[in-house]
Chain A
């Protein structure tokens, strides 16, 4: 399975944008890039996903490098509720079973 690399932790201030990087240099052509986050004492929740083009939804934006070897999750205006561990995951479109492999993620701290 292709792996992802994320910084262990990041810190930002409330109401400022946050850019969470993810490297996936061994990504294959059939891998989609997914992001999940885990709030304290909860199960992970889906944030966003993409293949090649940048994606936006109500929670965040996903910027994907042209060579697809890296991506950035963008929180446009962080709130205290965005403090969580963020996981960048590659998901193979071809495989029949959905075996997501979570790394250790990035722990995001938001300062008031």
Chain B
């Protein structure tokens, strides 16, 4: 257990509204990730961070932004939510760029955009 907390765990919102999901970790891991999971697509990487204020895009980054102002927090923001962003979002962390570092996942945040 890497002490990963995602909030909120469930959210229902309307199209066009901003949404922020928070990932909080207590293990001082350097790397943090946001994935989304949809039926038939498995897990797809949205954005990741390799340090405070250091972030990069994943394979499905359009419509999402991230911020990391502290080691322990990685925020995912949907500036204007759309129905296509209805999904389950997972945060993950890992210690560093080593081949043996396992990835620890949060329990997920289920977002529904009406």
- Give the residue of B41, B90, B94 whose beta carbon is less than 8 angstroms from that of A44: B90
The answer to whether A101 has its CB under 8 Å from any CB of chain B is yes
Q: How far is the CA of A44 from the CA of B103 in the complex (A)?
A: 9
Smallest distance from the beta carbon of A58 to chain B beta carbons, Å?
A: 14
- Tell me which residues across on chain A come within 8 A of B44, comparing CB atoms: 102
Main secondary structure of the interface of A (DSSP, over half): loop
Binds B, one of A63-71, A75-83, A89-97: A89-97
Smallest distance from the beta carbon of A11 to chain B beta carbons, Å?
A: 20
Q: How far is the CA of A100 from the CA of B42 in the complex (A)?
A: 12
Within 8 A of B (CB), among A21-39: 32, 34, 36
Closest to B108 in A: A43
Smallest distance from the beta carbon of A48 to chain B beta carbons, Å?
A: 9
Closest to A42 in B: B107
Smallest distance from the beta carbon of B10 to chain A beta carbons, Å?
A: 12
Q: How far is the CA of A93 from the CA of B101 in the complex (A)?
A: 10
The answer to whether B105 has its CB under 8 Å from any CB of chain A is yes
User: Is A32's CB under 8 angstroms from B99's CB?
Assistant: yes
The answer to whether B27 has its CB under 8 Å from any CB of chain A is no
User: Is B56's CB under 8 angstroms from A97's CB?
Assistant: yes
Given contacts A49-B100, A98-B31, contact A43 B45 (CB under 8 A): no
User: Is A93's CB under 8 angstroms from B99's CB?
Assistant: yes
B interface list, Cβ under 8 A from A: 31, 33, 35, 40-45, 48, 50, 56, 58-59, 90, 92, 94, 97-108
Nearest 9 A/B pairs, CB to CB: A43-B105, A46-B102, A102-B43, A104-B42, A93-B99, A32-B99, A102-B42, A44-B105, A96-B97
